[in-house]
Structure 1
Amino acid sequence: MSHNGEANTNHIMAVISQVEEWSSLKSLLQTSCQDEGHQVTCSSLGAYQVCSVTVEDEMISLHYADLKEDMSDESICQAVETCIKPCTNGISSFLLLIQGGCYTKKERRLVEILQAHFGPEILKYLVILSTEDGEVVDTLDDALLDLINVCDGRYCRITSSSVTGGLHSLLEMVNCTLSESGVGGYTEAMLAEAKRRCTEDSAMKLLKQKVEEAENKEQEFKDFVQMQENRRTKEMEELKAKHARERKKEAAERKKYEEKREGLQEAVISHKASLQLQMTTPSDDETKAASVILLGLSGSGKSSALNLILSRAGNQYSLNGSTHEPTHPTLSCEKKVVFAADRRLILVDTPELWDEDGVENLALVKDCLALALPGPHVFLLVLQVGRFTQGENNMLGYMQKTFGREVAEHSIILFINSEENQSKPQRVDDYVAEAHTTLQDLIRKCGSRFHGLNITNNRSALSYPQVRELLLGINKLVASHGGRPFLTKRFSPQELQERNKVIVEKKEDMLEINHLLRSE
């Protein structure tokens, strides 16, 4: 203390606490005034109280504004400001009072309000003072320890037995803080700067809030638009599915109608053909005639089989001779007639009616049907023993596509065995039994009707019973259909008769030309 009894230094501190802690501190200071000889004066300056304590040559002025628990944040800040504004050079520190080392939610709230309003630098000037005139906690709270650490360890205690020691510790902490900061304390300029930053932060926070609200609204709008798009997409998919079902239903109904219409057309054509056949009075020879069309790939032996049937049907064979004559490729449909078993048998030899892709030669198809009139009654599908190609496997399908699906009911498979060097020809039954399943399926589709012919240079007499069996099979098949010919729906009888007439005229012209050439 100076010689005139006045303190050389006056530390102004803004006390931050509730009324209870402030009252406890004043009580301790006033008690120490009597016991330890400190000078303590308390007064009121308008809205806040001042408690001045002289310790040796230094004075501590504690400025306190009543802070109540139910006050708003803004009211608390205004109350603390009233303690600072009268201090032209600022205050030395903020003094946070706690009771008995207990850091409660009330004190935590006050610290948060101070930081928000006075800026984070307030922690540089914050000193924590624990008044301990009663019960004291054994261990400091973790939150209090964290705060002490942030405040660089500025924590001191004032007890009823050691007020002076506590005040000395407080002064040392304040002096050290002021020395390190290099300024006189927390000034009103700092407060103004803190308010400015707070205003900017509030404005920025408000702006961010507005931006977030705008983004949320934008996202909500996008979600709404997406939901609408999803709904429309779903409706479109449902509509497309509905239209697809309707189109499928219409297509099925149209197909059913077309099938019914085609069936009616076929029935009309068949009926007309039947009427035309009934109107045509056939001769006795025609009623007993049976026409057979031989079909097969090139080299299958159709022409050889036809020649053998012609010769054997009239019992023309020799035990020593051979009827196996070289044949040339068939280029056009040819008709042969033989009388056998009191029946006129018409045999129509054909070249290949289909190409490798199964495309028919319409002219040849029409020719073979025309030459087979009043039939055809039977189709002989000629295959060679030991050879069964994919093309031959497809033959029945080609026949059904060209003549109609019922052609299989009028078909017989004829196997030709022309291996001249084979000492003992293989029986056709054995060959079929050992054949591939695809060939067996083909035979099954033709009603399991098959025969065989051996065409060799020797043992020619053996072919006679084979021809007889074949003729019996042909007659049996014709009889199973009541002697009625196979009716194709593609050409009318008149059209085929006209075609037959043209073929006959061409043949007569060729014979006449050949006769003239020979006579020259």
Structure 2
Amino acid sequence: MGKTSSSNEVRTLVLVGRTGNGKSATANSVLGRRAFKSRASASGVTRVCELQRTIIKDGPIINVIDTPGLFDGTQSVGKEIVKCIDMAKDGIHAILMVFSINTRFSEEEQATFLTLQALFGYQIIDYMIVVFTGGDVLEDNEETLDDYLGCECPQSLKDILTLCGNRKVLFDNKTKDENKKLGQVQQLLNLVNMVMSQNGGRPFTNELFKELKEKARIQDNQKKLIESEEGYSKAEMLEFKKEMQQKHDEELKRITAMVESKLKEENEKLLKQLEEEKVARHKAEENYKFVQNTSYNEIQNLKRDLEVAKTHRAPRRSSSPTCSIL
């Protein structure tokens, strides 16, 4: 990545997905350096939301926000969502849904997609790009991403890809090939540009983003006002700043509690929906097995009837006397 930029434009990308899918490794690939901790770990390395940035040569500034597994129940989900929004208060240009071809697509990943949609509204889908990690494995097997998706792709994953306008990219985060590294990042940035174009150049925001941005603006103005005032002692200035910080923290707690409440409500709905789908799927599988067994039994009965018919069928003999040839 270059060190200079001829553009003041900023692109803010947020990576979401299940722990272990390679979000941090993908973020590092986009940045072109090892900025986020990334290693194989069952419990996940990323614990809190974190922002890093890079500047594309003759291009925009790229803000990359890495997140923990927001929906695997290992931390205060609401707190991290609010922190993520606070980092991206000017809006999100693309949400990168990270899946791994090394693991089966799970209900947890479907839940991540559905919960984001429930939390931020249906419009969030217009900003989503699906990133598949594990490109090295496909290359070793001489397969393409389309080959992989065409082989018993779960219907729920097909639905996500369809809703996201089939915006997808494959990442090999282990490659040492510089051209390959640049190529896959450029492919992703092309999709980001497509998302921006389709959304009229406007990043995603909602009332929560606007509220946090307004709170930050008020706090900055108060801070500047206090610093410009004369006649205050150093101790009084520190006290004012302390009070401001307390008010800010209390406001964040209020917003976090609101997000947690909504998230809990949506998760309960989602769990009920997934359970109903599981029961329906189980019932359908049982019906299918019953039909299969019934068909098999019917075929066996027919075979048995044919065998019985054969054994009881006497051979036809001629009643006329045999003719001897002298």
Q: Alpha-carbon deviation of 1:421? A: 9.9
Instruction: Identify if the C-alpha distance between structure 1 residues 362 and 467 changes in structure 2 by more than 3 Å, giving closer, same or farther.
Output: same
Q: Alpha-carbon deviation of 1:356? A: 5.3
- Tell me, in whole angstroms, the C-alpha distance in 1 between the residues paired with 2:115 and 2:216: 21
Q: Select the structure that is richer in strand.
A: 1
| 1:385-429 Cα deviation digits (max 9, x unpaired) | 142111012221110122222111111111001656963563222
Contact kept? 1:354, 1:360, Cα under 8 Å: no
Q: Alpha-carbon deviation of 1:381? A: 0.5
- Tell me, in whole angstroms, the C-alpha distance in 2 between the residues paired with 1:372 and 1:382: 19
RMSD value, Cα: 3.5
Equivalent in 385, 396, 400 of residue 101 of structure 2: 385
AA in 2 matched with 1:466: Q
| 1:418-470 Cα deviation digits (max 9, x unpaired) | 65696356322222233222211111111211111012255464232111101
Q: Which runs of 5+ in 1 are unaligned?
A: 1-283, 317-323, 506-520
Match for residue 431 of structure 1? 148
Equivalent in 84, 89, 109 of residue 373 of structure 1: 89
Contact kept? 1:416, 1:453, Cα under 8 Å: yes
- Tell me, in whole angstroms, the C-alpha distance in 1 between the residues paired with 2:194 and 2:138: 34
| 1:239-283 Cα deviation digits (max 9, x unpaired) | xxxxxxxxxxxxxxxxxxxxxxxxxxxxxxxxxxxxxxxxxxxxx
Contact kept? 1:347, 1:372, Cα under 8 Å: no
Match for residue 31 of structure 2? 310
Contact kept? 2:19, 2:72, Cα under 8 Å: no
Instruction: Identify if the C-alpha distance between structure 1 residues 419 and 336 changes in structure 2 by more than 3 Å, giving closer, same or farther.
Output: same
Matching of residue 485 in structure 1 with residue 206 in structure 2 = no
Match for residue 11 of structure 1? none
For these two proteins, the number of residue pairs brought into alignment is: 209
Matching of residue 347 in structure 1 with residue 64 in structure 2 = yes
SS of 2:32 mapped into structure 1: helix
Instruction: Identify if the C-alpha distance between structure 1 residues 499 and 347 changes in structure 2 by more than 3 Å, giving closer, same or farther.
Output: farther
SS of 2:208 mapped into structure 1: coil
Matches within 5 A, 1:81-480: 288-311=9-32, 326=39, 329-340=45-56, 341-355=58-72, 361-387=77-103, 388-417=105-134, 423-424=140-141, 426-434=143-151, 435-456=153-174, 459=177, 461-480=179-198
- Tell me, in whole angstroms, the C-alpha distance in 2 between the residues paired with 1:445 and 1:354: 21
Instruction: Identify if the C-alpha distance between structure 1 residues 420 and 449 changes in structure 2 by more than 3 Å, giving closer, same or farther.
Output: closer
AA in 2 matched with 1:494: E
Contact kept? 1:293, 1:348, Cα under 8 Å: yes
| 1:142-195 Cα deviation digits (max 9, x unpaired) | xxxxxxxxxxxxxxxxxxxxxxxxxxxxxxxxxxxxxxxxxxxxxxxxxxxxxx
Give the TM-score taking structure 1 as reference length.
Answer: 0.36
Give the TM-score taking structure 2 as reference length.
Answer: 0.56
Contact kept? 2:136, 2:175, Cα under 8 Å: no
Contact kept? 2:175, 2:181, Cα under 8 Å: no
- Tell me, in whole angstroms, the C-alpha distance in 2 between the residues paired with 1:499 and 1:468: 38
Instruction: Identify if the C-alpha distance between structure 1 residues 471 and 390 changes in structure 2 by more than 3 Å, giving closer, same or farther.
Output: same
SS of 1:485 mapped into structure 2: coil
- Tell me, in whole angstroms, the C-alpha distance in 1 between the residues paired with 2:12 and 2:158: 26
- Tell me, in whole angstroms, the C-alpha distance in 2 between the residues paired with 1:360 and 1:472: 34
Equivalent in 214, 237, 240 of residue 494 of structure 1: 214
Larger radius of gyration: 1
Q: Alpha-carbon deviation of 1:490? A: 2.9
Contact kept? 2:96, 2:129, Cα under 8 Å: yes
SS of 1:352 mapped into structure 2: coil
AA in 1 matched with 2:71: W
Contact kept? 1:335, 1:348, Cα under 8 Å: yes
